Every structure is written in C-alpha cells, then in structure tokens.
Amino acid sequence: MDSSSRNTSSYVVNLVFLSLIIAAFVYLYISSPSVSNPLLSYRHDNSCRHSQSVTFSLDELEMALQKASMPNKTVIIAVLNKAYVEPSVKSETTMLDLFLESFWYGEDTRSLLDHLLVVAVDQTAYDRCKFKRLNCYKLETQGVDFTGEKLFMSQDFIKMMWRRTLLLLDVLKHGYNFIFTDSDVMWLRNPFPKLSNNQSIDLQISTDWFNGDPLSERNFINTGFYYVRSNNKTIALFDAWYSRKDNSTGKKEQDVLLDLVREGALRKLGINARFLDTVFFSGFCADSKDITAVSTVHANCCRSISAKVLDLRSVLRDWMRFKADQSRIKKNHNDTNPTLSFRWSGHFGCWRSWNNTSV
C-alpha cells in the first residue's frame, strides 16, 4: 500500500473514532439527570404543565382536600371554633357531638364521615377534631380571634362568615366541588339522592322558606347548607360575592349573596341554580312535613349555641323514636303507619333565645 493510501485509511479510522467519542459524550450528557441540562428541564416543565395532579401546589389545604375527597373531587366541609367543640355551662353535649351523632344514626350517612373535612378556626377546635380522628384543617384567620361564641349578627359573627366565604372560594379554585354544612345541621339521611346529579347545575342551596319553585330566585336562601360545583362560573360568583365584604355594613354574607341573586348575578354569570325544598332540607324556620323524606334539619332561626344544642337533641330524639317505631312495626308485621303519629318537638330553646340572651 502506497503512502497516500495509508494516509487516507488512517484519516478514515481517526474520523470514525472521533465520531464515536462525540456520540458517546452527547448520549451521556442528554441522559444525565442533572437539573442543569436545559433539554431535561424543558421536558420536565412541559410534563408538569399538562399533569392534572400538579395543577395546584401541594399546600396544606390541597392535601386536606385530597384526603377527604370523593372520587369525583367532592368534599363535605364544616367550619368549627372552640365554642362548637366544648360543652356550654348548660349542657355537657357539644355541637360537634350532636353533628357527628347525626351521621352515626342517620340513614346511609356513616360512610360520609370519611369525606367530611372539619375546618378549625382555632387550636382548641383543631385539637378536638384530631381527637375525634376526623379529617382536619387549621384555617389561618388573618389575626382575628374566632375562639369564643359569636352571637348571630355580632361583628365577630359577620367577620367569621366572610372568612368562611373566602375559604370556600379557595376550595373552588383548587378544583373541588363541595357541600358546605353548618355543624348545627343534623344529617338524618344521605342528602345526595335528593340533590340533582345534573352536571349542568352549578349551585344547589337550602332555603329558610321555600316558595314551591326550585328555580325561583325569590326563595329566601340559607348558606348553612349548599352544594357547589367547581367551575369558572361559580368561582366568578364567589369572587363577586367576597368583593362586597367591605361595602356591606350591617349585613351578613348570606344577605349579600341574596342581594346578588335578586340583582340577577346568577343569570349574568350563566349559573344554573336550584333552590332546595324544605320538605327534604328543613330547619327550624320551616319544619319538614314529611319525616320519611327529610334529609337534613338545620337549627336556623335560632340565636345561641346553647339553644341550638337543646333543640337539636330533641330533633335526634324525635328521629330515633321514629326509627324505633318503624323497626317495631316491621318486626311485628303491623300495618300501623308511624308517620301518622309523628310530630316534631317544639323548638322552645330557640324560640326563647330571641328574648333571652342567656339561653
């Protein structure tokens, strides 16, 4: 082989060898897990951007919601403070005790406790929630003390209701549907069968007095029990609602939402709302007329916690008496109808609470 041929062959061998070295270096560089690699960084960011599981950062609220959530991203939320988890001077029973007892003795309600998220606004309520082995979340109250009893329409009561509204707006922004329930609501039956499962209905809300039309915006709403689907429309509604906080002196958040409804805000935002019949979602303002149909009983039209505890104990006694009568009749194959003799006990504590601040 002449000199020129040897030089050409050597050049080709060296070129191939150099190509292999470069290829190996590129492979090692690209496959390296180092965060300094811009190709990997871009690929990682892109996957996160399209992953539903990381749409929101895993803050404490998100973790609490995930733990309590149903498969369809729905949670049941109740807000408590110290006054609702400690016994009053007139009773050893707490509001939280009664609330949980209703789930325990209600029809098809025990399993719902797995999806209840108790939001505590003070340390005592949070500690009691953990002691009860519930799903618990400690709410940042922005420097406001919500520890003691907040009488209906007091300034602290109104502040606490607005802080609750802001929390629920945050829940919607995290992508979760929710049933909000006051802890003075007794869950006698699973309410979901009485709620519409129509995906186009954005808001279903209880009423103090039901006018007979579930679509009528002339119903008197009550924010002690309502079901909201998370979407852009409901987030916009809660944004508009909360934005009125500082321009609603003398009004509670429920009054402001009613104002929005009456002004046509639901229609303007394209929100489909359903107002709940008191036959199924009742309260002390208007008792359900059908014990066989009622799902929840709310101690509305009542002023103090001690009065609510007194009368809600009567509600649970009435419920247990009705269930015992049903069981006895079924066991004895008796044709007697227990609903014919059923009658709710009077709400004497709540009636007196409006005239006597000590009740």
Q: What is the pLDDT of residue 38?
A: 25
pTM to 2 decimal places: 0.81
* Sequence-distant (≥ 6) Cβ neighbours of residue 350 within 8 angstroms: 284, 299, 301, 302, 303, 307, 308, 310, 311
Percentage of residues in the chain with pLDDT exceeding 90? 65
pLDDT of 88 higher than 90: no
What does the pLDDT read at residue 289? 95
> Is residue 272 pLDDT above 90, yes or no?
yes
Mean pLDDT of the 329-350 span = 87
Q: What is the layout of strands, in order, in the sheet containing 185-187?
A: 185-187, 296-298, 281-283
The per-residue pLDDT for 129 is 97
Q: Is the pLDDT of residue 359 over 80?
A: no
Residues 292/212/299/154 CA torsion (nearest 10 deg): 170
Overall average pLDDT of the 67-80 stretch: 97
pLDDT score of 282: 98
Residue scoring higher pLDDT (88 or 330) = 330
If we measure between CA atoms, which residue out of 266, 297, 287, 274 comes closest to residue 196?
Answer: 274
Q: What is the pLDDT of residues 167-178, one digit of tens each?
A: 999 999 999 999
Structural domains of the chain sorted by starting position, each given as residue range(s) with its CATH number in brackets: 60-298 (3.90.550.10)
Q: Across residues 301-324, what is the average pLDDT?
A: 95
Q: For the residues 312-334, what does the mean pLDDT come to?
A: 92
Convert the pLDDT of each residue in 190-202 to its tens digit.
999 999 999 999 9
Whether the pLDDT of residue 54 is over 50: the answer is no
User: Can you give the pLDDT at residue 166?
Assistant: 94
